[in-house]
Amino acid sequence: MVTLSKEEFQLFQQLVESEYGIHLPDQRESRLAEAISECMRESKSSSVRHYYESLLGPERHKNLANLVEKLTIGETYFLRNPAQLEVIKTHVFPELLKTVNVLGRELRIWSAGCSTGEEPYSLAMLLLEISRDVIRQPLSIVGTDANQESLDAAERATYGRWSLRQTPPHMLQKYFVKQADEHFTPVPKVRQAVRFQYHNLLKESFSLDGLGPPDIIVCRNVMIYFKTDVNRRLIEKFADCLSEGGYLVLGEVETVWPMPRNLVPMEFPGVIIFRKHSAGIAAPERSFVPIPVPRALGRPSITPADDHVSFPSYLAEASALADRGEYAGAEEYLKKTVALDNLCAVAYYLLGVLAQRQGQWKEAIQYLRKALYVDPSLALAYFSMGRIYQQQNQPAKAKHAFLNAMALLETMEEEATVPWTEEMTCATLNAACRQSLNSLESKV
Ligand SMILES: C[S@@+](CC[C@H](N)C(=O)[O-])C[C@H]1O[C@@H](n2cnc3c(N)ncnc32)[C@H](O)[C@@H]1O
């Protein structure tokens, strides 16, 4: 592995951040060195300097995308985050289709940071689920990404089982054609509804070629490595370019509170999306903050302890089930986990989140207390507790819980990741706590 001097680390750090938005805190130096070594081997670069120059030359887009891919978790799959997609299918699409029918124009959908295309193709499938006729209407789904190789793969549209791991059998049968070697391609009707385009969110205009103001923008799991101020700027640009009454769908941890005033939050069970209402239309004062769910669950690489060999599979199973909204099944796996080790804080925390999502407040608080008994530094658990007390109209208890979470977060680096998540920074969680506290101020 190459060793980077401080100056070299900073050069790469600045380049990746200014070109892509990806923020690499100093603690990630060895990860960067590893990624650079791998890229240098692939491109047969003779030195770090030589490799750095290749990121400024004519092949810079390709080379930089390759480096970024190694620094981030770029995975995607069909029908990811079913709870959000269900809201899009049952609420957003029917609403917007009515509007565009009246206006006599096409429905415009932008999947920003679509990687290898699973997300925009999934959206096309959901539209077909509403009506077989819908795709006969003029329709425009555009998937964009700053990685041209991913977009080329999206155009080829040949997917292995891993991309289809959350696709229910009936959807697989209905919307895919089986190819050789266990690979699948979306049916022509789905493929024809989607087109792909290179677009770097940091560099390009948000007015996409050939697409008028979008009615829906979906940008999920893209801004997770960006700094909060970059996310805020991009969210403002999304808001500006959306059509009036259009929707913005973000990943759970990419939302930056407070959101711009022209984006009104709409809350569904376990899901928050945003609708554009221009200045002048009264947007209600809202104080939503997302309930963070540890990402570590689906990532068996992060195990609670080396000797807890069964945890990753139980926790991963629980995560997959919770993602599909199958709370009872998820709960069963989490209970198996705590039966194996009654000191597994994250399992208690998750049991609390599941109970909270099902409106079982007392059980949720009990589980969160257990999580904190095992791991008193679990700021996430205090935060969730605060949210429950807030919803239960118990402002003094809510305030106490948020203050505890903030006190813990203050002992951590702002840009450090909150323990048990891979994607939420301490600064983001702290801001969410502060916002909740502000909204409590008048009540305590
Ligand atoms: C994890 S994938 C997300 C795919 C899909 N949205 C999903 O949620 O499954 C993240 C994608 O964001 C893209 N990306 C990262 N920075 C970007 C930028 N500045 N502009 C456009 N795309 C970017 C990456 O190339 C990658 O394909």
What's the 173 CA to ligand 1 centre distance in angstroms?
A: 28
Give CA–CA dist 214/217, Å, rounded.
7
pLDDT for 387: 87
- Ligand 1 atom 27: residue of nearest CA: 115
Alpha-carbon torsion 270, 272, 273, 277, what sign?
Answer: positive
pLDDT for 328: 83
- The pLDDT tens digits for 38-78 are 999 999 998 999 999 999 999 999 999 999 988 887 789 99
Give CA–CA dist 255/388, Å, rounded.
20
Contact 322, 330 (CB under 8 A): yes
Nearest to 429 by CA among 72, 437, 234: 437
pLDDT for 220: 93
CATH code of the domain occupying 311-440: 1.25.40.10
What's the 431 CA to ligand 1 centre distance in angstroms?
A: 24
What's the 74 CA to ligand 1 centre distance in angstroms?
A: 7
- Alpha helix locations (H) across 44-196? 48-54, 60-71, 82-87, 93-103, 118-130, 148-156, 169-175, 188-193
DSSP 364: H
What's the 77 CA to ligand 1 centre distance in angstroms?
A: 12
Give CA–CA dist 116/107, Å, rounded.
22
- Ligand 1 atom 26: residue of nearest CA: 115
Do the domains 311-440 and 82-276 match in fold?
Answer: no
Give CA–CA dist 135/105, Å, rounded.
13
pLDDT for 135: 62
What's the 93 CA to ligand 1 centre distance in angstroms?
A: 23
Contact 93, 218 (CB under 8 A): no
Contact 233, 167 (CB under 8 A): no
Atom of ligand 1 nearest to the CA of 74: 1
What's the 123 CA to ligand 1 centre distance in angstroms?
A: 16
Q: Place domain 82-276 in its CATH homologous superfamily.
A: Vaccinia Virus protein VP39 (3.40.50.150)
Atom of ligand 1 nearest to the CA of 115: 27
Ligand 1 is surrounded, with C-beta below 6 A, by: 20-21, 74-76, 80, 113-115, 119, 145-147, 150, 200-202, 220-222
- Identify the segments of the chain with pLDDT beneath 50: 280-291, 295-310
Atom of ligand 1 nearest to the CA of 72: 1
What's the 251 CA to ligand 1 centre distance in angstroms?
A: 12
- Alpha helix locations (H) across 105-227? 118-130, 148-156, 169-175, 188-193
Give CA–CA dist 225/219, Å, rounded.
13
- Ligand 1 atom 25: residue of nearest CA: 147
| Half-sphere exposure of residue 33: CA atoms within 13 angstroms, side-chain side | 14
Atom of ligand 1 nearest to the CA of 65: 25
- Parse the chain into domains and list their residue ranges: 6-71, 82-276, 311-440
pLDDT for 137: 64
What are φ and ψ of residue 107, in 5° steps?
A: -85, 130
